[in-house]
Amino acid sequence: MTATMDRVTPFENERIKTFTDGGDVAAMEAALAEVKRGLGRSYPLVVDGQRVQTRKRIHSRNPAVPSEIVGETASASGEDAQRAVDAAERAFASWRLAPAGRRASVLFRSAALLRERRFLYDALLVYEVGKSWPEADADVAEAIDFLEFYGREMLRYAQPQPVTPIEGERNELVYIPLGVGVVIPPWNFAAAIPIGMTSAAIVAGNTVVLKPSSDAAIVAAWFVDLMHEAGLPAGVLNYLPGSGSEIGDLVVGHPKVRFISFTGSKEVGLHINDLAAKPQRGQRWIKRVVAEMGGKDAIIVAADADLDAAVEGVAASAFGFQGQKCSACSRAIVEEPIYDAFLDKLKARVASIVVGDPRNRETVMGPVINAQALESISRYIEVGKREGRLICGGRRAEGEGYFLEPTVIADVAPDATIAQEEIFGPLLAVIKAKSFDDAMTVANGTEFGLTGSVYTTDEKKIERARDEFFVGNLYFNRKSTGAMVGAHPFGGFNMSGTDSKAGGRDYLLLYLQAKSMSRKV
């Protein structure tokens, strides 16, 4: 059945499982066992609906047990990339004309299938990217939300749009798709971000070449199969894992590519933006770049704050999923009168964090994503030890995998390396502020502007932060992570990206263009 506005219920966020229910625990344990039996499978490219194997392979490893291969994928060559773009261009000719209701129906069916297989996707995220059970389920729940939300959004944009009436004319404005897009997602929200970016582009009538992260290529392969099972025509979504050096610049710079949707590091995002800005021979448009990049997010703890709540919010924001979130708190800026008390409570709270294999239900913090990340974060920890006072952590944790202790370094200067550079790991810098004015200055004192949080009971401080804390997502008396689709449209300022506001009512406009038409009557 084709979706229409009058046939869909209002959007509601999917509930995130806490695994306190015995049935959920049993279902998750069964899913972990089932996924384990399928580890090591081979996944081909998917180009124009055809499965293509290649000699070169990409191995996705379990970061908790690096000797364990989660799966292997084909690795695309330049020729494969060219075929994928050509296939997407051919498919666009018909997909752009598909009614919005038909396109939305594919997303709704995909959401239903993902909901049915939720625990299997949870389990795969545990194995492939090292998420704890609740973190994995939150990732999958957000993916379901994106499918449901963007389907409804496309139905809204397909409705007659309000224009000012002119006597003697019949005027209308319609939204049409852009064309072929390249979607380059990260590994850290391995279900939610690829599914959200890709589904938004597709429901708007575009076709996609999906280049997943090599560290999360298996869950992306599952998603591509899911979309085709839900009725997506061949060529609309092409699965193209491969090395960035071999195919990344090729697809970004390709003259047939109309837009690039990217989530990842500042350095790669700026490179993509630079390359996309240079027109190629045969290119007929200015490419659009949708970029969500890094963060150096701060939580301000005012002297009047609820100290226990602030400690909990900082710990959850800094060490949830090992600090591997662009929204993670990497700076706690604490007013001087409560600074020492805050550190004492934070040290005790961090000591309670269980580090280990995320297959175990009790694990709170699993491994970082790979050996390169482990090495990079470890270097920052050593720098931090010289730039401040080590409160806790600072070492590798036990186990074969890429485990690090949650690390807190206090007495850090606002301009210190660990207070300025995105680390993307379980390392928190604590900075003492002389006053709330000083705290606001420190908070805004980086090149990023993604998320921030303020713990205070003073309404004047809240109003001040509303006006002056320069971030795309600002929270009061709650953690800086955990944006919900629809409720907290997500995207940041400055070097944090193009403020794309994923999960918001403006997001689909990034994948659409407006056509105004007038007829004399």
Counting residues of the chain whose pLDDT is more than 90, the rounded percentage is 98
**Is the model's pLDDT at 254 over the cut of 90?**
yes
Residue pLDDT, tens place only, 20-36: 999 999 999 999 999 99
CB distance 472 to 489 below 8 Å: no
Same domain, 418 and 440: yes
| E strand intervals along 219-339 | 237-239, 257-263, 288-292, 297-301, 329-335
The answer to whether position 492 is within a domain reads: no
CB distance 480 to 297 below 8 Å: yes
Same domain, 388 and 278: no
Query: Residues 486-514: what's their mean pLDDT?
Result: 98
CATH number of the domain that residue 385 is part of: 3.40.309.10
Query: Residues 404-428: what's their mean pLDDT?
Result: 98
Give the count of domains, the chain: 2
Same domain, 277 and 384: no
Same domain, 151 and 165: yes
Split at pLDDT 50, 70, 90, the class of 200 is very high
SS3 181: strand
Residue pLDDT, tens place only, 296-323: 999 999 999 999 999 999 999 999 999 9
292 noted as active-site residue = yes
Same domain, 289 and 302: no
Return the CA Rg of the chain. 23
Options 14, 72, 135, 326, the catalytic residue = 326
pLDDT at 5: 74
SS3 122: helix
Options 292, 387, 405, 422, the catalytic residue = 292
Split at pLDDT 50, 70, 90, the class of 1 is low
Same domain, 279 and 304: no
Query: Residues 320-337: what's their mean pLDDT?
Result: 98
Residue pLDDT, tens place only, 117-141: 999 999 999 999 999 999 999 999 9
Cα–Cα dist 258/254, whole Å:
9
**Is the model's pLDDT at 4 over the cut of 90?**
no
Cα–Cα dist 222/194, whole Å:
11
Cα–Cα dist 416/325, whole Å:
21
Same domain, 59 and 148: yes
The answer to whether position 4 is within a domain reads: no
CB distance 314 to 332 below 8 Å: yes
CB distance 433 to 439 below 8 Å: yes
Structure tokens at 153: 């959004």
Same domain, 450 and 304: yes
CATH number of the domain that residue 63 is part of: 3.40.605.10
**Distance of alpha carbon 371 from its chain centroid, rounded?**
21
CB distance 43 to 69 below 8 Å: no
Same domain, 283 and 304: no
Same domain, 404 and 263: no
The answer to whether position 181 is within a domain reads: yes
Same domain, 250 and 264: yes
pLDDT at 31: 98
326 noted as active-site residue = yes
Same domain, 289 and 319: no
The answer to whether position 15 is within a domain reads: no
Provide φ and ψ at 146, rounded to 5°: -60, -45
331: domain range? 297-484
pLDDT at 275: 97
- Token pair 């330049």 is found at 78
